[in-house]
Amino acid sequence: MKALENKVAIITGAGSGMGKAMALLFAAEGAKVVVSDINTDRVNEVVKEITEKGLTAKGITTNIAIEHDVRNLFTLAMLTYGSVDVLVNNAGVMDDFTPAAEVTDELWNRVMGVNINGPFYACRLALQQMLKQGKGVIVNISSIGGLQGARAGAAYTASKHALVGLTKNIGYIYGTKGIRCNAIAPGAVNTNIMEGASFNKFGAERINPGLGTNLRMAEPNEIAELALFLASDKASNINGTVVTADGGWTSF
């Protein structure tokens, strides 16, 4: 039996990088996948790639920072498949290593909107459905930036720390209800998250010395395999925690 046989899995930020790798892997492992991303073309490409293999997927364009969009995402999942068994909050944005004194309201609100408000909206709706079902799994994609202070700028760091706190709270509070919630803290991953980045000079200079201690970049499928494990019944006693997947970077 496949790891996610007949499970319904919502994956945000699934148009590229880690999210795409998760969508492809989850579908191959039997899940009915709802592919969510802000980029419509990427959504369509991933759904096409999955369905051409005879697997099951639906797609929807979603700005995770907008609550109405998140509601539409869950409405699609429920109308199409009738349940939500797994939620992966993968969508995220960086902040160009901007230090606190230079963070604009616009940057702060954008990063917080995608990295913590969106996951909160999705978790809230997922929990409401999972409580009716008596079971469910949430996997939040945080970062080693959510564990330490100098892997990104102020807004990103704060948002990922908040996501870790939300994960632990949900895991504990709903642990007696058949619901598990964990986070993954990747290090450097070979994705397009830096696409169009324009680094803050001072912030990058302060963070740069630590970059040299990174042992290697991860590939998206390596994080996807961990997400699959956490979403599966094999991880039945793992709850309310953060699994670091950084190749040993934070061991220094």
What are the residue numbers of the active site?
A: 156
- Is the separation of the CB atoms in 20 and 192 below 8 Å? no
CA-nearest of 162, 154, 165, 210 to 187 is 210
What is the three-class DSSP state of 24?
helix
On the 0-12 / 13-18 / 19+ scale of CB atoms within 10 A, 166 is: buried
- Is the separation of the CB atoms in 114 and 92 below 8 Å? yes
Which backbone phi and psi does 189 adopt, to 5 degrees? -125, 140
Using CA atoms, how far apart are residues 62 and 36, in angstroms rounded to an integer? Answer: 6
On the 0-12 / 13-18 / 19+ scale of CB atoms within 10 A, 192 is: exposed
